Structure 1
Amino acid sequence: MTTLQAIIIAIVEGLTEFLPVSSTGHMIITSALLGINKDEFTKLFEVCIQLGAILAVVVLYWKKFLVFDKNRLNFYVKLIIAVIPALIIGYLFSDKIDALLESPLVVGITLLLGGVVLLFVDNWFLHPEIDSDDKMNIFKALRIGFWQCIAMIPGVSRSAATIIGGMQQKLTRNVAAEFSFFLAVPTMAAATGYKLLKGRELIMEHPENLKLLLIGNVVAFVVAMLAIKFFIDSLKKYGFKMWGYYRILVGIAILIAIAMGYKLTV
């Protein structure tokens, strides 16, 4: 992986991590289009640059994470409860999840089907009752955590799954989106920490790998800051339908490319 390729992948991560379009799916396809060898470092890189993206959430919502008041402990408890299902299922099925990450066909199908869902989801939850995560109890947080597990299938989108899960639990669209961002912090921090621990020797034995990781995280951080603001504004104005059409177009394009014999894995 070259520095330019690392920057491009990091831009894709920053743009798509918090949009309901699947950052993992986009990185898989981007890596293939760039001709990046899918070696162990590439797999590690694509997970670990999520750290930059989650730092963007902490910076943008720093009062939520860093200013202590009587509601903060309750907030952290909800995040811990919500992240438990993903930690358990991710640990138990890590090998099978890694195998799915090799499949552009899975990405194409899930992007397409998820896009169809997003065309209609705005009409499914028309009477939200919870306009602040402070009003959400731990049982609702846990249920959202189970929704998040669906996103372990590449192309589903962690953001889409958790936002829909939040709306199903009677959260308003904006509160569901923000809680999805908050939940990304412990979820992705755990995934990144696990990958870094497993791949520490790979990183340290090649100084160039450490440089690429640092560059990737900085780029992902900056781009994610912009993407989060854009997504919240677009969600207020347009809902999910525009993202549904986008997913359908990308999914169809991937499936056509596969059917025509284009090699989308390296």
Structure 2
Amino acid sequence: MDIVLLLKATIMGVVEGLTEFLPISSTGHLILAGALLGFDDAKAKVFDIAIQTGAIFAVILVYWQRIRDTLVQLPTQRQAQRFALNVLIGFFPAVLLGLLLGKAIKAHLFTPTVVASTFILGGFIILWAERRQQQAVRIQSVDDMGAWDALKVGLVQCLAMVPGTSRSGATIIGGMLLGLSRKAATDYSFFLAIPTLIGAGAYSLYKERALLSATDVPLFAVGLVFSFISAWLCVRWLLRYISSHSFVPFAYYRIVFGVVVLLTAWTGMVRWVE
């Protein structure tokens, strides 16, 4: 296996893990990083989706106690059944719209210009959501959510099909706008990520299996490992961070980063691959 290719896989894995659960768009960062690294062919797009599984393993590890308790209590405890049902309800819209629109979106919207524009727009939405947060909270914990709350967050998650929007950003900020506390929205976003990203990764690998071979195993393994490690560190940090901080810094990061990408593209300083 080419050492340079493995190094690119390492970088992409770290980018995925650090950005997947922050409201700054992992897909957007992967598109931009892939453009700079020249790692953006058809196989690379499958790689980008597959290594999300490594990030999900990190969430499972961090939340293992809650996941295990839910599975054990599922046959008998109504609260566990309600929690599991809410995750499935939130997951369903992404499955439906992904099957209907996923191919068209990948064909037309996976470009650096679209990513930069949605970065900027998303930043302003985060600023708006944080301004409303103090007076809008009605759900303090994921256990207080009803089926209708789960469905609404699931519908908002579908906005993340547009690259640069951010799946975690859509669910966390969307959840806050819908009345969830910052902690409840973040927890639900993490739990919702488990079936969503595992499903997307498995489906992508199956659909594009003709592009892959046994020689790709080291490439994908490196990406998964580094995605897992960086995501584990990031999730643990984020859960501490939100206990006493807002998402405003991420909003400014999105706006500045998006403007930089647009300016460098328009001036020709960086050749972002379209």
Task: Identify the TM-score tier after normalising by the shorter chain.
Answer: over 0.9
CA offset at residue 233 of structure 1?
2.2
- Counterparts of 1:147 and 1:44, CA distance in 2: 24
Give 1:80's aligned residue: 88
Q: Kindly indicate whether residue 112 of structure 2 is the aligned counterpart of residue 124 of structure 1.
A: no
Q: Kindly indicate whether residue 148 of structure 2 is the aligned counterpart of residue 145 of structure 1.
A: no
Instruction: Answer yes or no: is the 8 Å Cα contact 1:120–1:241 preserved in 2.
Output: no
Distance 1:173 1:63, change over 3 A: same
- Work out which of the residue numbers 35, 40, 43 in structure 1 matches 2:38: 35
User: Residues 138-197 of structure 1, C-alpha deviation per residue, up to 9 Å, x if partnerless?
Assistant: 111000000000111111111111012211232110111010011011111111110111
Instruction: Answer yes or no: is the 8 Å Cα contact 1:100–1:154 preserved in 2.
Output: no
1:43-62 maps to which residues of 2 (within 5 A)? 43-62=45-64
| Count of matched residue pairs | 263
Q: TM-score, normalised on structure 2?
A: 0.92
- Amino acid of the structure 2 residue aligned with 1:18: F
Distance 1:101 1:209, change over 3 A: farther
- Amino acid of the structure 1 residue aligned with 2:224: N
Give 2:65's aligned residue: 63
Between stretches 142-151 and 88-97, larger displacement belongs to: 88-97
User: Residues 40-67 of structure 1, C-alpha deviation per residue, up to 9 Å, x if partnerless?
Assistant: 2101000000000111111110122222
Give 1:25's aligned residue: 28
CA offset at residue 93 of structure 1?
0.6
- Counterparts of 2:175 and 2:126, CA distance in 1: 14
Give 2:111's aligned residue: 103
Which secondary structure state, in structure 1, belongs to the residue aligned with residue 243 of structure 2?
A: helix
Give 2:264's aligned residue: 257
CA offset at residue 101 of structure 1?
4.9
- Amino acid of the structure 2 residue aligned with 1:173: R
Between stretches 139-148 and 168-177, larger displacement belongs to: 168-177
Distance 1:237 1:57, change over 3 A: same
Between stretches 188-197 and 166-175, larger displacement belongs to: 166-175
Between stretches 119-128 and 140-149, larger displacement belongs to: 119-128
Between stretches 65-74 and 246-255, larger displacement belongs to: 65-74
RMSD, matched Cα: 1.4
- Counterparts of 2:244 and 2:36, CA distance in 1: 33
Instruction: Answer yes or no: is the 8 Å Cα contact 1:100–1:153 preserved in 2.
Output: no
- Amino acid of the structure 2 residue aligned with 1:106: V
- Counterparts of 2:228 and 2:47, CA distance in 1: 14
User: Residues 107-163 of structure 1, C-alpha deviation per residue, up to 9 Å, x if partnerless?
Assistant: 010101111222232121223122221111111100000000011111111111101
Unaligned runs of 5+ in 1: none
Identity among equivalent positions (%) equals: 40
1:188-227 maps to which residues of 2 (within 5 A)? 188-203=197-212, 205=213, 207-227=214-234
- Amino acid of the structure 2 residue aligned with 1:11: V
Instruction: Answer yes or no: is the 8 Å Cα contact 1:64–1:72 preserved in 2.
Output: no
Unaligned runs of 5+ in 2: none
Distance 1:230 1:100, change over 3 A: farther
CA offset at residue 39 of structure 1?
1.8
Q: TM-score, normalised on structure 1?
A: 0.95
- Structure 1 ranges of 4+ moved more than 3 A: none
CA offset at residue 202 of structure 1?
2.5
- Counterparts of 2:222 and 2:46, CA distance in 1: 14
- Counterparts of 2:131 and 2:206, CA distance in 1: 43
CA offset at residue 218 of structure 1?
1.2
- Counterparts of 2:172 and 2:116, CA distance in 1: 21
- Work out which of the residue numbers 183, 193, 197 in structure 2 matches 1:174: 183
Instruction: Answer yes or no: is the 8 Å Cα contact 1:121–1:240 preserved in 2.
Output: no
Give 2:17's aligned residue: 14
